[in-house]
Amino acid sequence: MNHRVELNRGNRIFLACIYWAFVLYVFVPLILMILMGFKDSKFIGFPIRSWTLDWYKGVFSDTDVMFTFGYSVAIAILSTLISVIVGTWIAVLLQGRKFWGRAVTFALMVLPALVPGIISAIAFRIYARMLGIEPGMGAIVWAHAVHNVPFVSLVVMARLSTLPKSQIEAARDLGADPLIAFLRVTLPYLVPAILGASIFCLLLSLDDFVRSFFLGGYEPTLPVLIFAMLRSGMSPEINAIATVALVLTAAIGIWAERFTRRNNKETKV
């Protein structure tokens, strides 16, 4: 008995060490990045002898940087809307139904998430040229949406698998046609999953460098802009831009998590 207790305690200590090592691995670089954005010097490194907000002031006063922020957010929103509509439709089509070609449809739906980013970007660039689509916002939105559809479909399918069939049957018994039953029963039940998938797709789009680089025009997205700035050397301005983007994405994630939790409680009630 004592040996088992000591063994369990040893396992807990070991797992705790792994957990905190992972936390340090993830958060220490982020903390260092944020600190360097306040350094009153053009060079990255310690020690920090004086602190300043000039780099952050420069970010918000730089029209090119702010335009790039807005441009990236617009691309993320448009691609997320498309991927949510298409991904939800595919999930409803596949979940709980058996038809010829279902396995092939599922495989084609998941494929964009499995293809390496560089290969996907090259393929999109070649296909866009064949279709006569010019590099720019439209091409990037298209590529991001196709890449994000599998994530939406998988999340929505997981949520659909927990939907009680009795609710849909009750709606049909009360005279609702399939469309009304979907809009009043299925869709409200899917809201938490759709919201979670939307936030995930939004962050994926904001972070996508490879497809944005290959399909972009003269206006760069935020990752492409940071990459271009890195060519001239690392500076606290880059840290400030990255910190602003980090705060924005973290705020979106926290809001989505609270909204989803509240919605789940209301659904259970």
Q: Show me where the domains of the chain are located.
A: 59-268
Peptide bond into 47 cis (omega under 30): yes
The average pLDDT across 82-96 equals 88
The confidence score (pLDDT) of residue 82 equals 94
Indicate the DSSP class of residue 51. Answer: B
Lowest-confidence range among 70-84, 97-111, 254-268? 254-268
Nearest Cα to 199, choosing from 30, 77, 109, 82?
A: 77
Average pLDDT, the chain: 82
Give per-residue pLDDT as tens, 140-196: 999 999 999 999 999 898 888 887 776 666 766 666 666 777 777 778 888 888 888
Give per-residue pLDDT as tens, 10-35: 777 888 888 889 988 888 888 888 88
Helix or strand or coil: residue 233?
A: coil
CATH number of the 59-268 domain: 1.10.3720.10
225 contact partners, CB below 8 Å, separation of at least 6 = 65, 68, 241
Own/partner contacts of 11-14, CB < 8 Å, gap of 24 or more, are: none
The count of residues in the chain is: 269
Give per-residue pLDDT as tens, 63-80: 888 899 899 999 999 999
Lowest-confidence range among 38-52, 54-68, 199-213? 38-52
Give per-residue pLDDT as tens, 37-47: 888 777 777 77
Give per-residue pLDDT as tens, 239-250: 888 888 888 888
Indicate the DSSP class of residue 185. Answer: I
Beta-bridge partners for 51? 39
